[in-house]
Amino acid sequence: MSTLRRLISFLRPFSGQVFLSILLSFGTVASGVGLLGTSAFLIASAALRPSIAELQVAIVGVRFFGIVRGLLRYLERLVSHDVNLRLLAGLRVWLYRAIEPLAPAGLEMEQGGDLLHRMVGELETLENFFVRVVSPVLNAGLVTLGISWFCGRMAPVLGWVAAMGMFLTGVLVPAVQIRLSRNAGRRWIESRSQLNAFTTQVVQGMNDWIMFGRVEKAQAHFHRMNRTLSQTQVHMAKVQALGGSAGLWGSGLTVWFLLLLGGQLVLRGEISGVDLAVLSLMVMASFEAVTPLHQAAAQFEATLQAGRRIFEWVDRPNEAPDPKGAVPSLSSPIHVRFEGVTLIYPGRTEPALQDFWMDLPSGKRVALVGESGAGKSTVGQVLMRFRLPYSGQVRVNGWNLRDLRGEDLRTHLAVVSQQTYLFSGTLRENLLLAVPQASEEELLKVLERVQLQPLLRRLPKGLDTWLGAQGEMLSGGERQRIALARALLKPASFWLLDEPVSGLDAETARTILRMLWGLAGSRSVLYITHFLAELEEFDEILVLQRGRVIERGKHADLLQAGGWYAQAWQLQRSLLDEGELLR
């Protein structure tokens, strides 16, 4: 299905309002045509000095069309913009529902600024699709048929003149505009997207740009991108101005030809001079319906390009689609088992996981250790059902992971990831993400457990203090402890901890880990880390290297084996204060 047809399909739920809007738009132009036509009849007839009684109908007609035109214009704008705003709201909901299942695996290669631009900027480009593209085209077609029929009743040749003039002005000129602005429209959308993505990147990384003295380079690159965008906008404005000028010439030439041919008909007595005056002004007024097409043509390619980029997202295959139909119901506690799992990231040939086996029944604690890029976090992504295995299978309470809905599975998981995200809200709001109905007493208790009482005392409004975008008012360690607090709040039977103490000093990290293991109780724990501390009580430790398990066993057994784990443990011990922190 073409992009244009897909965009038009979004209007189906509003078909009644669309039809009403087009009728009102046609009625508005028709009232304007009637106003000028009646005025022409009144003035031309008055020149012949008839009795005032003969002009009464025309006088009333001028008043009628003048009032009706204003009323219909108001109603048309009211209905059309209501459709427009409802369409935009529907598009936003539709787009979010379409891309939310793709996250995070399907969107991890996208820049945050580009994502934001597509979600906001390109949808706003489509905002006026109905008002500036669909409605003007249909309205112009109806007006062209109407005025051509009316002129043709007076004299067929005049009907053809009106039809050809409006066709050339309303079809040929916009077609040339679309041709001239095709590349510019694409470049404008792409340049704007790149500029927004770069601006977001610079703002988020401003400290690094300043620290490394690269501000001038960023400014120069920004100016180059902005110059490219401006040049594209100037080109599109020129095309739009060219269309507007051509439209004025087309309107004038059509009326001129109409007067030229109509004058001969008047001389031959086929129509009256009054009729010619009426037809001339009516045709001139009819071009009001054609004028918006020139603006629509200049923006047409940009609108299509915005639609293409949005549909490009929506049409992406979901790497972990939820099953259709009835799905099994999970109950706590859960038993997770990886059976020969192999996973390959899209676009790569080397597996991220190879023949991976792991059994995690209720209450068992397993640690995954290894170098960066060994595949530890990939195991967590598979467990959360963000990715599905290329081969092998994962079973949860005996059910195949592919047969479960991701949302159902994740209700049983409390997750602390390596990159903690805090929303631009209060401390209370960020904690309540885990359990919306949690009481203030529960929030204070969990903050005490993760040793955040000093932070709470420091915040001017306590739990109701605004934390800023991504918790910018907090240190990295404080953000990580808030993530731990959310995990403690959630009544989940399985803890997935991916580097939960990153950003903390070694002593505090050990304190937090001891607290976590003490609170874990009968919960299952999958602990992903490179910090080889407090692992003595774990039931099993798996050492990953290039996606394969190269060692497995308890802490003491792995030290005795003298393999990778023992060497890494000794190295960390030598780096930390005479081994006091890593006994």
Domain spans in the chain, listed from the N-terminal domain onward: 3-314, 336-579
SS3 531: coil
Within 8 A by CB and 6+ apart from 44, the residues are 273, 274, 277, 278
Quick one: 520 exposed, middle or buried, by C-beta within 10 A (0-12, 13-18, 19+)?
A: middle
State the residue for tokens 């915040």.
Answer: 459
Q: Comparing C-alpha atoms, which of 451, 441, 533, 529 is closest to residue 485?
A: 451
Within 8 A by CB and 6+ apart from 380, the residues are 415, 417, 496, 498, 526, 528
pLDDT in tens, the chain (583 residues): 588 888 888 888 888 888 999 999 999 999 999 999 888 888 888 877 777 777 777 788 888 888 999 999 999 999 988 888 888 888 888 888 888 887 777 777 666 666 777 777 778 778 777 777 888 888 999 999 999 999 998 899 999 999 999 999 989 998 888 888 888 877 887 888 788 778 877 877 777 778 778 888 888 888 888 898 888 888 888 888 888 898 889 999 999 999 999 899 988 888 888 889 989 999 999 998 998 888 888 778 878 888 888 888 888 888 787 888 778 888 888 899 999 999 988 778 888 899 999 999 988 999 999 888 888 888 988 998 888 888 999 999 988 998 888 888 888 898 888 777 888 888 889 889 888 888 888 888 888 888 888 888 888 888 888 887 777 778 777 888 888 888 888 888 899 998 887 767 777 778 778 878 887 878 899 999 888 888 888 899 999 998 899 999 999 999 988 889 898 888 887 776 544 444 3
Per the structure block, which two tokens stand in for 524?
Answer: 């299952």
DSSP H helices, 426-540, are 427-431, 440-449, 453-458, 476-489, 506-520
3-class secondary structure for 21-47?
A: HHHHHHHHHHHHHHHHHHHHHHHHHHC
Residue type, 37: G
Quick one: 174 exposed, middle or buried, by C-beta within 10 A (0-12, 13-18, 19+)?
A: buried
3-314 is classed CATH 1.20.1560.10:
yes
Rounded Cα–Cα distance for residues 353 and 390 (Å): 9
Whole-model pTM: value is 0.76
Rounded Cα–Cα distance for residues 100 and 106 (Å): 9
Q: 125-152 in b/e burial notation, b at 16+ Cβ within 10 A?
A: bbbbbbbbbbbbbbbbbbbbebbbebbb
Domain 336-579: CATH architecture, name and number where available? 3-Layer(aba) Sandwich (3.40)
Q: Degrees (nearest 5) of the Cα angle 205, 110, 210?
A: 10
Contact 414, 494 (CB under 8 A): yes
